[in-house]
């Protein structure tokens, strides 16, 4: 499907960007899961015009209603690939939908969600990784575990079968589409329906303790708790993120890649709803104007 603007991310900045792009009378598609937004579980009470506290999810739900009312299409899925094709961008979702866009807005929020179990922080860079694409080569011939329920975990588990001799997928029920889950299982991934409890080792990762107190001997743990990260998507579209995985933008929220814009938490701190919404407004207008100029 061809469209003018694709917004990746359905948090406050992405929803606002989609609203303003659609109101600029360009065809707009917003792709993402509001439940993945950091704002979804927040209680908001310092936002202009809102007598709080209110649930962040309520604001997002209302925003999605607005998005649709202005003519934008809402796709409640994760993006699994994004690439440049000449002056256009090709965006694919987990169910196989494909969109060709003149401009793209990255509103994916912050990446590298932490698991929060003992041993995780201590072994970062010593067997604990948040990016299978980045670190897969370090685990050739090793045993690894992938932890997560979403799209990225399914894709990471399948990818690691090409490098590691044994791959465990630790998930309390995968939320990725069945096709991605099946691909991982067909590649030889062993799925364990149990929560992770602790990462152990002596100087480097040596085992993973599970919620049922069983223990798996392994060499690496990949923590993939969400959709494809902002850093990965940016690199797919020929944009190198900053060292902290944020994306650098100018005053119009444009990146160095023509037609690629970014807003919200992914461009850096402070991580506040009011700031994200303001940036989404500007990015939506900028992306719409860019798309109009390429017609």
- pLDDT recorded at residue 115: 84
Residue intervals in the chain for CATH 3.50.50.60 = 2-111+228-293, 121-223
Average pLDDT, the chain: 92
Alpha carbon distance 245, 260 (integer Å)? 16
pLDDT of amino acid 160? 97
Of the candidates 232, 30, 229, the residue with the CA atom closest to the CA atom of residue 110: 229
Query: 206 — phi, psi (to 5°)?
Result: -130, -20
CATH of 121-223, one of 3.20.20.70, 2.60.40.1180, 3.40.718.10, 3.50.50.60: 3.50.50.60
Mean pLDDT of the region 183-211: 96
Phi, psi of 205 (to 5 degrees): -65, 130
What's the predicted TM-score (pTM) here? 0.74
Residue 37, SS3 per DSSP: coil
Kindly give the interhelix angle for 12-23 and 56-69, rounded to the nearest 10 degrees.
20
Instruction: Check if the beta carbon of residue 230 is closer than 8 Å to that of residue 241.
Output: yes
Cβ burial of 117 (10 Å; 0-12, 13-18, 19+) is middle
* Interatomic CA distance for residues 5 and 99, integer angstroms: 10
Say what the pLDDT of residue 244 is: 78
Q: CA 106, CA 217: separation in Å to the nearest integer?
A: 38
Confidence class for position 152, pLDDT limits 50, 70, 90: confident
Instruction: Give yes or no for residue 112 having a pLDDT over 70.
Output: no
* pLDDT for 147 beyond 90: yes
Angle between helices 178-186 and 151-160 (to 10 degrees): 20
Place 270 in a pLDDT band, splitting at 50, 70 and 90.
confident
Question: What is the pLDDT confidence band of residue 251, given thresholds at 50, 70 and 90?
Answer: very high
Fold of 2-111+228-293: FAD/NAD(P)-binding domain (3.50.50)
pLDDT value at 33 more than 80: yes
């Amino acid at each position: 499907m061809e469209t003018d603007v694709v917004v990746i991310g359905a948090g406050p900045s992405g929803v606002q960007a989609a609203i303003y792009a659609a109101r600029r009378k360009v065809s707009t598609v917003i792709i993402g899961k509001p439940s993945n937004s950091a704002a979804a579980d927040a209680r908001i009470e310092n936002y202009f015009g809102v007598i709080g506290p209110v649930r962040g999810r309520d604001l997002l739900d209302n925003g999605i209603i607005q998005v649709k009312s202005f003519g934008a299409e809402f796709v409640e899925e994760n993006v699994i690939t994004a690439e440049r094709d000449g002056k256009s961008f090709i965006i694919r979702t987990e169910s196989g939908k494909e969109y060709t866009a003149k401009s793209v807005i990255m509103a994916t929020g912050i990446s590298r969600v932490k698991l929060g179990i003992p041993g995780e922080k201590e072994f970062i860079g010593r067997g604990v990784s948040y990016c299978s694409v980045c670190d897969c080569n370090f685990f050739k011939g090793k045993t690894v575990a992938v932890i997560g329920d979403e799209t990225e975990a399914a894709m990471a588990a399948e990818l690691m079968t090409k490098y590691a001799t044994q791959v465990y997928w630790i998930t309390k029920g995968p939320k990725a589409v069945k096709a991605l889950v099946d691909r991982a299982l067909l590649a030889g991934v062993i799925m364990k329906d149990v929560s992770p409890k602790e990462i152990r080792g002596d100087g480097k990762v040596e085992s993973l303790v599970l919620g049922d107190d069983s223990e798996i001997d392994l060499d690496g743990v990949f923590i993939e708790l969400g959709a494809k990260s902002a850093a990965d998507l940016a690199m797919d579209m020929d944009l190198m993120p900053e060292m902290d995985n944020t994306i650098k933008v100018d005053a119009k929220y444009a990146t160095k890649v023509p037609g690629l814009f970014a807003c919200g938490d992914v461009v850096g701190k402070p991580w506040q709803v009011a700031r994200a919404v303001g940036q989404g407004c500007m990015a939506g207008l900028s992306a719409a104007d860019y798309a109009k100029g390429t017609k």
